[in-house]
Amino acid sequence: MGCFGFLKVMMFVFNGIIFLAGAAILGVGIWVKVDSGSILSFIGKIENAPTELSQVLNVGYLLIAIGALLLVIGFLGCCGAVRESTCMLLLFFIIVLVVFIAEVAGAVVILVFRPLADELLTKFGTAAVQSIRKDYGKNPDVTGLWNTTMSSLKCCGFYNSSDFVDSPYYMDHGERYPPQCCPGIDGPCNQTVADSVTTITGCFPKIKELIEDNTVVIVAVALGIAALEICAMAVSMSLFCRIKSRGD
């Protein structure tokens, strides 16, 4: 297999993976929009939530758009390599280049508007605590969502156990916290018991800690994706030039 054949195979395999990934992301996006009981629907029902948070509800559309874009990119890359179509390869190069530029611009925007994101999270935290104190123990959807989240992440409340004070659950159980707030205790626990066991952090600090602990991995993945995009553009241009010169 010569260099030209190797480039065609690599282009086909690489874009085949992109195509499958796009199909998976598209499926997740459709599921998010169809599933009325998803966490996104719950977020939309939180009273006094910051208006900016409504944009999060469009994540389903974002996933659908990204999935569709990856499907197109994968299709153009595979067919362009197999059929040796300069038109498809050029279009593939242009789309990947636009995506790469958009990613760089997005990274810059995130860095510039980081303080605004922190302010938004603070507003959301206030709304989430208000939702717990109003609906936890009374609204099955809110209660089930928080129980699942706390059990999965091994956390308690949004910030800490005090988020449950004056909630329907807290009042109906003799001023006791949910079992998730007191590891090793079977059932609800009061403040005295909670103080005597290992402190359980809130879900927001836990998620923030997980992100901070995996910052290196996240950055490495982002750089890896950028490197793959650059390689994809280089390979597509190499095939384009070879096919073009051979045609001439």
| pLDDT at residue 168 is higher than 90 | yes
Over residues 86-118, the pLDDT tens digits come to 888 888 888 888 888 887 887 787 777 777 777
Between CA 177 and CA 117 the distance in angstroms is 30
Third-level CATH fold of 136-206: Cd81 Antigen, Extracellular Domain; Chain: A (1.10.1450)
Over residues 114-130, the pLDDT tens digits come to 777 777 778 888 888 98
Q: Count CA atoms within 13 Å of residue 132 on its CB side.
A: 27
pTM, two decimals, is 0.59
| pLDDT at residue 37 is higher than 70 | no
Structure tokens that stand for 39 in this block: 């966490």
Sign of CA dihedral 236, 242, 246, 248: positive
Over residues 216-241, the pLDDT tens digits come to 877 787 788 788 788 888 888 888 88
Per domain, the residue ranges of the chain are 3-115+232-247, 136-206
Question: Residue 128: is it exposed, middle or buried by C-beta count within 10 angstroms (0-12/13-18/19+)?
Answer: buried
Structure tokens that stand for 150 in this block: 């706390």
pLDDT value of position 50: 53
| pLDDT at residue 132 is higher than 80 | yes
pLDDT value of position 133: 92
